[in-house]
Amino acid sequence: MKKFNKNKKPKSQRGAPSRRKSKFSDREKQHKKEIPKQTAPDFEDMRLNRYVAHCGICSRRKADEYIKAGKVQVNGETVIEPGHRVTPKDKVQYEGKYIRPERNLVYILMNKPKNYITTTSDERGRKTVMDIVEHKVKERIFPVGRLDRATMGLLLLTNDGDLAKKLSHPSHEIQKIYHIVLDKDVEEEHLQQIAEGITLDDGKAPVDSVYYYNNKDLNECLIEVHIGRNRIVRRIFEHFGYVVKKLDRVYYAGLTKKDLPRGWFRHLTEQEIIMLKHFK
């Protein structure tokens, strides 16, 4: 299988979809097996943005935005400084509701189906990924990063704001692989240009590698990226006039979709949690 990569040896097809039929005889066990025990540390005082992030509302980066927007109150007073220190005695509210850091840390991997919004709520009443875990996870959690409504595949949900910040920060270059199906066969010349890095309206779009999914279906590709700009994979192929029929994230930060059917989720194992926390 020919791969296109300008500066380094192609990576293996980690997490690539398999032609072999998967077996899901233990689907129910994925939801019922024992969850690794992870607890948040006690604190004497903490920066407000970290406090909000540990409440299972959002990542610490997003908490900065909420605080600066005046959505957070401490002891009845609006605080717009993310570095404001709070103690266990302080009463903190987010949009008028009292919040406290979650004691139990939860890490969930979901195989997101199409037509679900990657947010904790939607003003227009559309289905969100939170509907899938509703009544099944008692802790308040939030999705890490985003997949657009039409994109399927791996999505991490947690209440660990520190980990969410780490995985979302561009400096960590978290690896992602997408399986993409297009409306027509992809020209080799276009794959080579994508691998070398094309320029879109919002700047350069670096790609780790891109290659045909197999030697038969030339309208299907696998693309490895670490950038997380909005709709980046779709926009790369649309730049050459292709219409994206299907987009599926099959690999994320060392995690794959093995034995995880569409629309299902599972708790990460202790080993997987350790792996994520030790990403450099």
Distance CA 276, CA 270 (A): 10
> Are 113 and 164 contained in the same domain?
yes
Same domain, 162 and 265: yes
Q: Are residues 113 and 217 in the same domain?
A: no
Predicted model pTM: 0.76
Residue 160 catalytic?
A: no
Which of 26, 131, 148, 185 is catalytic? The answer is 148
Domain membership flag for residue 13: no
Among the candidates 99, 115, 140, a domain finishes at 99
Q: Rounded to an integer, what distance in angstroms lies between the CA atom of residue 250 and that of residue 14? A: 9
Domain that holds residue 121: 105-170+258-277
The CATH code of the domain that includes 238 is 3.30.2350.10
Please tell me whether residues 192 and 67 are part of one structural domain.
Answer: no
19 domain-assigned:
no
Q: What are phi and psi of 235, to 5 degrees?
A: -70, -30
User: How many independent structural domains does the chain possess?
Assistant: 3
Give the Cα separation of 56 and 94 in Å (integer): 12
Q: Could you tell me if residue 199 is inside a domain?
A: yes
The encoded tokens of residue 264 equal 């299902």
Residue-level pLDDT, tens digit, the chain, 280 residues: 566 675 544 443 444 433 333 333 344 444 444 455 566 666 778 899 989 988 888 888 889 999 999 999 999 999 999 999 999 899 999 999 999 887 789 999 999 999 999 988 888 989 999 999 999 998 889 999 889 999 999 999 999 888 888 888 777 778 999 999 999 999 999 999 999 999 999 899 999 999 999 988 999 999 999 987 889 999 999 999 999 999 999 999 999 999 999 999 999 999 999 899 887 5
Is 20 in a helix, a strand, or coil? coil
Q: CATH number of the domain at 84, please.
A: 3.10.290.10
